[in-house]
Amino acid sequence: MKAKGSNAERQLVAMFWEKGYAAIRVAGSGSSRFPCPDVLASNGQKTFAVEAKATKTEYQYFRKDQIEQLINFSQVFNAEPILAVKFSSKWYFFYLTNLSITKKGEYVVKKKDAEDIGIYFEELIS
């Protein structure tokens, strides 16, 4: 399970580098006592703090504390907080304001809605 997530994060880093962004994967981002994203990318004008997930299911959940940490980090780092979900083999990117929140306070991304509310990588970086 961890390998799938790490590989997805590495793929995102490569995607950013190919488009002229410096990008790093923050190893152990889910277990650090400090808030930090999975991937950090910038071209000097735009900076993204990305929480990334890869799934083969129809839904992807982000815990409330993950989102709070992403927001906190992004505010201090002056970065745009972004959620990235790879459904099977296709990446979608989401602004926090476009997502549904469950009764537990989790953010949920539904595969069936990804085309409507998500954006493609090229749109994100343009």
Give 6's pLDDT tier (boundaries 50, 70, 90): confident
**Residue-wise pLDDT tens digits, 72-88:** 999 999 999 999 999 98
Looking at residue 98, what DSSP letter applies? G
Residues ≥6 apart with Cβ < 8 Å to 103: none
Better-scored residue on pLDDT, 79 or 98: 79
Residue type (1 letter), 36: C
**Residue-wise pLDDT tens digits, 14-41:** 999 999 999 999 876 556 678 889 999 9
pLDDT of residue 28: 66
Residues ≥6 apart with Cβ < 8 Å to 65: none
Better-scored residue on pLDDT, 89 or 94: 94
**Residue-wise pLDDT tens digits, 46-66:** 999 999 999 999 999 999 999
Domain limits, the chain? 2-125
pLDDT of residue 95: 93
Q: What is the model's pTM?
A: 0.91
Q: Which residues are catalytic?
A: 29
pLDDT of residue 4: 64
**Residue-wise pLDDT tens digits, 101-112:** 889 889 999 999
Which one of 3.30.1490.120, 3.40.1350.10, 3.40.1530.20, 3.40.50.720 gives the CATH number of domain 2-125? 3.40.1350.10
